[in-house]
Structure 1
């Protein structure tokens, strides 16, 4: 915390200490630079006016670090030009005096979540880059995909990634990001189907203070806050037609017009779109704009379903088991040969995501380090499965076709989405509703392919 007024430093220290944060405050730029020279700073909150220096000096010192912390600037002179300059220099956001305590608390929470996401991206890059070909697959079709990833990664062209649900579209989008010159910058996945039209535009393009109820301050959208990184528009086929028109102009002009603003702001981020829909069919049906389709479809990267990736199932299963063995502290975990043969024969309607969940379940529940066929669901073993039929209350009658794993996964997913809806999209509150820690909640979102919803809109709540 950097402020030349002692009273403000003490006030903010007390406020943030109550939220459980470890806070160190300093009076000026020199002391801030000395503090930043040490490791362990995740977030800097600095007043814009600091006597002989300014918050921009602190921002530049923070951005010069190898692993820069997020920076939030406080100013009593919240002009659009100051905001644009701060965002261009790499600030996460800024807040105007006088500010509401809840407004600052949510801003700090959001900034730290972005910091955590960036650290996770860095870890993922370190783990996946050396063997990313293994993680994606080594079948002939996936080698073609990987070859195309290598070609498109260095450029800035818009890429459209298509494929069935669970085929790994986000993984490939991350590979494009990490193999190019944007790897040191944020990768921000965003689910276009998760929000209504107004909130969707605010999250993508930003908004000015007072643009709508609850807009307590000006905020940059994802396209601007990603800096020189990458924004992944997942489920782009679900985007409302009115927003499609605006997105088309944004991609053509490389500028966004925040909601409620009369001026445009340039952005540098690369855009990767993804969908499990056939956009050509959506265009013919009038549900997707043809001009936007051609703008997104500069380079198309189609992911095959797992059933068409000969030899990849065993490879991916072994990869996922290796990761689970590390997480569980069981280095001896391995598949029996007949188990891998069964996995290769199964069609996997849920694709790679279903395989990953299946391996996780087998590794977690098995008492033996050797995972035999009995650790797989009945459908994979070629056995018939019971179906739940109406029976006595509290005692379901089981019949042919029932799949307990799928039933439990579907139920968990419904509860996750219901909690998100009741919490107004604020994930910390959704986690509380389910009695989960935020980290556990994030893990379950990732398990069900909902990681693209990690950057939720910040709402103050009642």
Structure 2
């Protein structure tokens, strides 16, 4: 289960559609028809995200939102409003809504916004949990690796300033967690933390995402919309995978960093923004500059203070502590009671190079915990890539080549499962990553019991 979603809408058809969409994405969903039922469901269900319609009996969406915030101030709410009622949605955001969706909604857009909101909720929870395991410096850390201690010291120092930060690290090393730590321990902690993945936004939408647009700027611009710079005003803007930013956007980003002002698409007014920039990349930007893919002057602007996160293969001694942390975390989240891991399984884990780093390790431990019915993680419970293909038991078969097909099926299932996890179980993104159609992906998921 990826998370819990509470859906509130007085239209039965809408409730059913949203419930089906989100259940297919792996969420646990509860649907209600009015604001009072939302408030009644909160204590027992404890949703990660609430989808809240505006037009409902008993109390409106805005009224319900106000009551929710009295009970659970940190609750993430996505406001759903009818076409042409953007003013209400903006008012809801001002009153604490995380985001809003306009009816009639696009299914993929709804799933994308829910995924982002749940990820935001879970990251907040992880940071809160990690704070309970802090070292005396007050910065979250798991392990005693010297390189990681240096990262913590750097976070402490730079958080006290307003300097732009560039974070280097391979995929899965925790770049966003470090960026959030910089924000959390800075003077901007009470301001917003807005994260954007520069590699996940289509080129045609990049400028709109960064700077927003004015009403009438293009055909579908029914209302003015702020970009991430305005939404992060007074706080921190995290530009993940900055190396993926297109050249045109690099030029405009450079200008904003120099002038600290933005102009919306279709607008003429310069809007001042007070934003701290934290960027991250898994690329060597100096090499990208030499290839002509990244502007040198932008690199100079971003590279004021650099933090490099060591990959997990350089932190082998930290793996046992990380495993203990993940077992405790997922015992609670998945209602399991795993107590330990065998030395043979630990040896397999430490022998693996973990190209996906800490995120990859967490996924592997979570998967192994589900299979460990006796509460002890054994070597055979580990994902195939970790335990090694020599662990596959080849059984004699009557038909020649059948065992090969079985192995191929196991490998294909493993690849699909890893791609689903990497893309937050979004089928559209997973299909694109695997270079197959969404229908083909669905059929394979059904065949392997992943649906």
Q: 1:130 aligns with which of 132, 142, 146?
A: 132
CA deviation string 1:209-229 (max 9, x = no partner): 122232221101112112323
| Separation (CA, whole Å) in 1 of partners of 2:104 and 2:146 | 53
Counting matched residue pairs gives: 381
| Separation (CA, whole Å) in 2 of partners of 1:257 and 1:42 | 31
**Deviation for aligned residue 1:406:** 3.8
The 3 A distance-change label for structure 1 pair 210 and 347 is: same
Moved more, 347-356 or 106-115: 106-115
CA deviation string 1:313-356 (max 9, x = no partner): 11111211111111232344211234323322322122112111
The 3 A distance-change label for structure 1 pair 108 and 379 is: closer
- Tell me the equivalent position of 1:419: 428
1:91-130 correspondence runs (5 A): 102=104, 120=122, 122-130=124-132
Where 2:405 maps in the other structure, the secondary structure is: strand
Contact 1:93 1:219 in 2 (8 A): no
* Residue 181 of structure 2 is aligned to residue 179 of structure 1: no
- Tell me the equivalent position of 2:291: 285
1:333-344 correspondence runs (5 A): 333-344=339-350
**Deviation for aligned residue 1:404:** 5.5
The 3 A distance-change label for structure 1 pair 112 and 416 is: closer
1:26-37 correspondence runs (5 A): none
1:340-419 correspondence runs (5 A): 340-377=346-383, 379-381=385-387, 384=390, 396=405, 398=407, 405-406=414-415, 408-410=417-419, 419=428
- Tell me the equivalent position of 2:266: 260
| Separation (CA, whole Å) in 2 of partners of 1:259 and 1:418 | 32
Where 1:142 maps in the other structure, the secondary structure is: helix
Q: 1:242 aligns with which of 248, 273, 294?
A: 248
Normalised TM-score (structure 2)? 0.67
CA deviation string 1:32-65 (max 9, x = no partner): xxxxxxxx9998979xxxxxxxx9xx99xx89x9
Contact 2:134 2:141 in 1 (8 A): yes
| Separation (CA, whole Å) in 1 of partners of 2:367 and 2:116 | 30
The 3 A distance-change label for structure 1 pair 102 and 136 is: same
Contact 1:87 1:225 in 2 (8 A): no
* Residue 236 of structure 2 is aligned to residue 230 of structure 1: yes
| Separation (CA, whole Å) in 1 of partners of 2:326 and 2:335 | 14
| Separation (CA, whole Å) in 1 of partners of 2:325 and 2:108 | 38
Contact 1:209 1:216 in 2 (8 A): yes
Moved more, 110-119 or 341-350: 110-119
**Deviation for aligned residue 1:147:** 1.0
- Tell me the equivalent position of 1:449: none
| Separation (CA, whole Å) in 2 of partners of 1:169 and 1:321 | 22
- What RMSD, in angstroms, separates the aligned Cα atoms of the two structures? 4.9
Moved more, 230-239 or 111-120: 111-120
Where 2:160 maps in the other structure, the secondary structure is: coil
| Separation (CA, whole Å) in 2 of partners of 1:414 and 1:106 | 13
| Separation (CA, whole Å) in 1 of partners of 2:193 and 2:377 | 36
Q: Where in structure 2 are there 5+ consecutive unaligned residues?
A: 1-8, 16-30, 37-46, 56-61, 393-399, 433-437, 444-449
- Tell me the equivalent position of 2:306: 300
- Tell me the equivalent position of 1:52: none
* Residue 228 of structure 2 is aligned to residue 219 of structure 1: no
The 3 A distance-change label for structure 1 pair 219 and 132 is: farther
CA deviation string 1:63-119 (max 9, x = no partner): 9x96598799x9xxx9xxx99x98997887999xxxx8548x999999998876665
Contact 2:380 2:391 in 1 (8 A): no
Where 2:418 maps in the other structure, the secondary structure is: helix
| Separation (CA, whole Å) in 2 of partners of 1:157 and 1:257 | 23
Where 2:390 maps in the other structure, the secondary structure is: coil
Moved more, 241-250 or 155-164: 155-164
Contact 2:98 2:117 in 1 (8 A): no
| Separation (CA, whole Å) in 1 of partners of 2:169 and 2:302 | 15
| Separation (CA, whole Å) in 2 of partners of 1:421 and 1:379 | 19
